[in-house]
Structure formats: C-alpha cells, structure tokens
C-alpha cells in the first residue's frame, strides 16, 4: 500500500501534528479523557477522610494511607485499558521498586528517583464517589482468560474501551459508596516480594455516556511484610 520511498519521504512532523490536533479536538481519540488532582493526606483533617483512611488500612495493613488520586470524567470521558504498575520489562528486572529503594538507601534523591527504580503498585483500591447516569463502567478486558496474548489483545482492539467496552470479560458499573480492590502483580514465590505484573489486571474506564463520573484511587506500593523486613535490615 505504501512503498519504501514514500515511507522515507513522509512528512512525520505533519503527521504528528495531525494526530495531536485530532486528540485535542476530539476526546474520543485520546487514550485518556479526564481531569485529575492529588490530595496529600498529610494536610487533610476531614473526619470523612479519616474514616476512609481507616478502612483502607484494614484492607492494606499499612499504617498510613498514600495520597489520593481524584478523577473526574465528563461525558465521553474514558481511560483506555492500561496497567497501573510498571510492566515487566527486561530493563526493569534489575531495578528495585521505588518505595523499596527509598528504604534501602539514605539517599534523599531516591524520593524522586531518575531511572533508579521502577513503579510497583502492588494493589489498587478504586472508590466510586457517585452514581453515573449512563456509562462509566470499569472494564477488565482479559480477566479470567485461560491464556494471555498481547497480539490477540491488539488485533481485537480490546484496549479501546470507547468502542469495545462490552467485549471485556468483566464490566463493573459504578455505584456510589462502593470500591473495588485488585492486584497488579504476582508475588515472587522465592523471595515473597513483588513479582511480575499480572497481565490479567489490564483495565480501564469506559465512556461516560450521560452525567459525570467521580472516582478516587489509592495504591499500595509494597507488600507490608516486605516493608517491615526491610526496615529491620533482614
């Protein structure tokens, strides 16, 4: 369809600008269409927030809740299927999880590391803050599949939840006051620490068709027993 000469002489800057303009003007073409902010828990003394923190602690066994990510999805708002944690790339196999690397070093630069560690969100806790009039489901395209194949997922276009939300194996409707909890990693059977990303945790938010969707999210970055053992120098 396109020969070698046409590929070499293509105006890639114009193509990139076309794609960028298309995403700016038409939200359906974006991988994510939403507004978000972060609520630092250290500065919040709201009693409702404290109750949520206690419930989070009961689930995660952590002494302190991590900062809240609060997201608003308008009509057509969505987040195509993705992973919450770093995928198990060869380059990152030798790097520690970011939260763990902070414990292993007194280097303050590790609080905001540059390539010294990788993101390890072991568990996701997602809260639904309102009922959505229509749409806004959370979808897991490959949940409970017997096998996982990246090529099949790409070929079927399962990442595109604007078009294929209902093709997902698991689709959850938002319900105010409820939460879902899921794991993003396997556990390394030899070390008991975080292992590779669970490929079946692929998930995202389907299009809001009517109304607005509000959610909040917390992540558990490391296994509690790993954190305790590391602090003791074991």
Phi-psi region at 115: left, alpha or beta (left = phi > 0; alpha = psi -120 to 50)? left
**CB contact at 8 A, 195 and 186:** yes
pTM: 0.77
* Cα gap 207→76, rounded to integer Å: 5
Q: Please check whether residues 147 and 182 belong to one and the same domain.
A: yes
* Domain annotation covers residue 190: yes
* Domain annotation covers residue 232: no
Q: Please check whether residues 45 and 139 belong to one and the same domain.
A: yes
Q: How do residues 64-115 score in pLDDT, each as one tens digit?
A: 566 789 999 999 999 999 999 876 544 445 566 665 544 444 443 444 445 5
Q: Please check whether residues 51 and 129 belong to one and the same domain.
A: yes
Q: How many domains does the chain have?
A: 2
* Domain annotation covers residue 134: yes
Q: Please check whether residues 95 and 10 belong to one and the same domain.
A: no
User: How much is the pLDDT for 113?
Assistant: 47
**Which CATH number do you get for residue 42?**
2.60.120.620
Q: Please check whether residues 90 and 202 belong to one and the same domain.
A: yes
Q: How do residues 146-205 score in pLDDT, each as one tens digit?
A: 999 989 999 999 999 999 999 999 999 999 999 999 999 888 888 777 788 899 999 999
Q: Please check whether residues 39 and 16 belong to one and the same domain.
A: no
Q: Please check whether residues 19 and 53 belong to one and the same domain.
A: no
Structural domain of residue 172, as residue ranges? 32-221
Nearest partner of 212 among 15, 71, 104, 3, judged by Cα: 71
Q: Give the N- to C-terminal CA distance of the chain in Å, as an integer.
A: 60
* Domain annotation covers residue 227: no
Q: Please check whether residues 23 and 5 belong to one and the same domain.
A: yes
* Domain annotation covers residue 234: no
The better pLDDT of the pair 85, 29 is held by 85
């Amino acid at each position: 369809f396109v020969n070698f000469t046409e590929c070499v002489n293509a105006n890639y800057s114009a193509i990139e600008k076309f794609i960028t303009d298309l995403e700016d003007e038409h939200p359906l073409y974006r991988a994510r269409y939403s507004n978000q902010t972060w609520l630092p828990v250290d500065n919040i003394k709201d009693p409702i927030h404290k109750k949520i923190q206690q419930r989070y602690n009961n689930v995660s066994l952590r002494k302190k809740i991590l900062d809240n990510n609060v997201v608003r999805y308008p009509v057509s708002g969505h987040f195509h299927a993705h992973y919450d944690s770093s995928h198990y790339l060869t380059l990152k196999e030798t790097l520690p999880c970011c939260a763990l690397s902070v414990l292993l070093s007194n280097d303050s630069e590790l609080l905001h590391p540059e390539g010294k560690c990788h993101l390890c969100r072991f568990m996701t806790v997602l809260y639904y803050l309102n009922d959505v009039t229509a749409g806004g489901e959370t979808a897991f395209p490959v949940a409970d599949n017997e096998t996982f194949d990246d090529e099949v997922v790409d070929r079927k276009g399962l990442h595109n939840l604007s078009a294929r939300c209902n093709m997902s194996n698991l689709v959850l409707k938002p319900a105010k006051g409820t939460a879902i909890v899921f794991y993003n990693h396997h556990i390394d059977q030899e070390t008991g620490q975080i292992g590779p990303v669970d490929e079946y945790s692929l998930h995202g938010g389907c299009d809001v068709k009517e109304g607005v969707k509000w959610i909040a999210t917390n992540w558990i970055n490391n296994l509690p027993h790993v954190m305790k053992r590391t602090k003791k120098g074991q």
